[in-house]
Structure 1
Amino acid sequence: MEDADLNALTAKIDQLIRLVAQLRADNLQLRSSERQWREERVRLLEQNELARHTVESMISRLKALEQDS
């Protein structure tokens, strides 16, 4: 193999190594972002459930007050 071919192959291998490193970093960042939005989703679902129970409780109290009137 000629030096020019070897140098071109070495350059391509180096480029692929850099690309793999960048893809790994991107993948880690995406996984971290996914974990954060999943945690946020769970928190929001819990808040929604709490709000639903609060509203249901208020409705029940209002109905009870209405019946007492």
Structure 2
Amino acid sequence: MPKDPAKASADKELKSLEFRLDELIEIMNHLQEENRILRDHQENLVTERAQLIEKNELARTRVESMINRLKAMETSQ
């Protein structure tokens, strides 16, 4: 019994759609993993930035303190 040409065409189209869907699922999985990695990296950068701001503030406070001590030494001489 020969295959119906319409059915053969529909089967071919269905296989093509299944293949494309599998490709899209693979792309989606890859993008989700990439997104997770980027979010982790961003979180690390935010943490690092906060630490650097804190260190910068501490250094600024120390420098201001040194300047004030030097000014006090100048005025006492």
Q: Give the shorter-chain TM-score range.
A: over 0.9
Query: Whole-Å Cα distance in 1 between the matches of residues 72 and 25 of structure 2?
Result: 70
1:18 aligns with 2:30: no
Aligned-pair distance for 1:43? 0.4
Unaligned regions of 5+ residues in structure 2, if any?
A: 1-6
Moved over 6 A (4+): none
Q: What TM-score, normalized by structure 1, do the two folds share?
A: 0.96
Corresponding letter in the other structure for 2:49? R
Unaligned regions of 5+ residues in structure 1, if any?
A: none
* RMSD between superposed Cα atoms in Å: 0.9
Query: Whole-Å Cα distance in 2 between the matches of residues 5 and 59 of structure 1?
Result: 78
Q: What TM-score, normalized by structure 2, do the two folds share?
A: 0.86
Q: Alignment length, in residue pairs? A: 69
- Which protein shows a greater Rg? 2
* % identical aligned pairs: 42
